[in-house]
């Protein structure tokens, strides 16, 4: 996948349409220092623009694999265009997420908004709650996020509590404090 080309295409569209967005997933984690192999790009965007985003992606040749009110997944026939996943947010969630996002430099002259680490953690906790098979992967990412300097442990603990996963927070707290 040609990440730079894909990101530039998507960002240009978002800028033109004035759509608030941020990168999440592996790129979001990379912005905070965790590098890992990925074959897709994950975005969070305003839900009110979902249909515009779907139309734009299809105009680029992406096939929509799945779409719901809160998510969509897309793949392109050309390997260089790869796979894109979107999370759609609105209301208070959108305001909190986008107002707390930070602009990060990904490569030469490519500045991209990224949610603050606590909000990335909230999305990972939500993903783990909805798909327990993701637990191992998400817990490793959450451990990394909780180890960042200046992280708000209480905010992240609140997200675990919100999704009824306090025991997972306590597990991570023990692991991090032990190391």
Per-residue pLDDT of 78-92, as tens digits, reads: 999 999 999 999 999
Residue 110 has pLDDT above 90, yes or no: no
Same domain, 137 and 106: no
Same domain? 98 vs 21: yes
Residue partners of 136: CB distance under 8 A and separation at least 6 = none
- Give pLDDT, residue 120: 96
Q: Is 19 in the same domain as 78? A: yes
Q: Model confidence at 179, in pLDDT bands (50, 70, 90)?
A: confident
111 and 145 part of one domain: no
Task: Classify residue 3 by its DSSP letter.
Answer: H
Residues 146 and 106 in one domain: no
Mean pLDDT across the chain, nearest whole number? 94
21 strand-pairing partners:
45
Last residue of a domain, one of 67, 95, 115: 115
- 135 with 64, same domain: the answer is no
7 with 85, same domain: the answer is yes
Domain end: 67, 97, 115, which one? Answer: 115
103 and 125 share one domain: no
Full residue range of the structural domain in which residue 97 is found: 3-115
Query: According to the model, what pLDDT value does residue 105 have?
Result: 82
Per-residue pLDDT at 96 exceeds 90: yes
Of 98, 115, 132, the domain-final residue: 115
Together in a domain, 90 and 140: no
pLDDT tens figures, 140-173:
999 999 999 999 999 999 999 999 999 999 999 9
| pLDDT at position 11 | 94
Could you tell me the CATH number of the domain that includes residue 20?
3.30.460.40
**Does residue 129 share a domain with residue 105?**
no
Same domain, 79 and 146: no
Query: pLDDT > 90: what percent of the chain?
Result: 86
pLDDT on residue 136: 92
Task: Classify strands 40-46 and 71-76 as parallel, antiparallel or unpaired.
Answer: unpaired
Q: Domain total for the chain?
A: 2
* pLDDT for residue 127: 92
Contact 101, 91 (CB under 8 A): no
Tens of pLDDT along 24-78? Answer: 999 899 999 998 888 899 999 999 999 999 999 999 999 999 999 999 999 999 9
111/60 same-domain check: yes
H/E segment holding residue 42: strand 40-46
pTM, to two decimals: 0.91
Cβ neighbours around 36 below 10 Å, total: 12
């Amino acid at each position: 996948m040609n990440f730079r080309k894909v990101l530039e295409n998507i960002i240009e569209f978002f800028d033109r349409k004035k759509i608030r967005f941020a990168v999440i997933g592996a790129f979001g984690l990379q912005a905070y220092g965790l590098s890992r192999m990925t074959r897709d790009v994950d975005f969070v965007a305003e839900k009110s623009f979902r249909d515009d985003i779907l139309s734009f992606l299809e105009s680029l040749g992406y096939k929509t694999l799945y779409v719901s009110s809160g998510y969509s997944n897309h793949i392109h026939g050309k390997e260089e265009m790869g796979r894109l996943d979107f999370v759609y947010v609105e209301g208070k969630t959108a305001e909190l997420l986008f107002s707390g996002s930070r602009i990060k430099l990904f490569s030469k002259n490519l500045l991209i908004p990224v949610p603050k680490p606590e909000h990335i953690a909230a999305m990972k906790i939500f993903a783990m709650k909805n798909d327990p098979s993701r637990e191992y992967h998400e817990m490793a990412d959450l451990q990394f996020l909780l180890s960042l300097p200046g992280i708000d442990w209480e905010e992240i603990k609140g997200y675990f509590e919100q999704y009824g996963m306090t025991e997972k927070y306590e597990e991570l707290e023990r692991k991090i404090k032990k190391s």
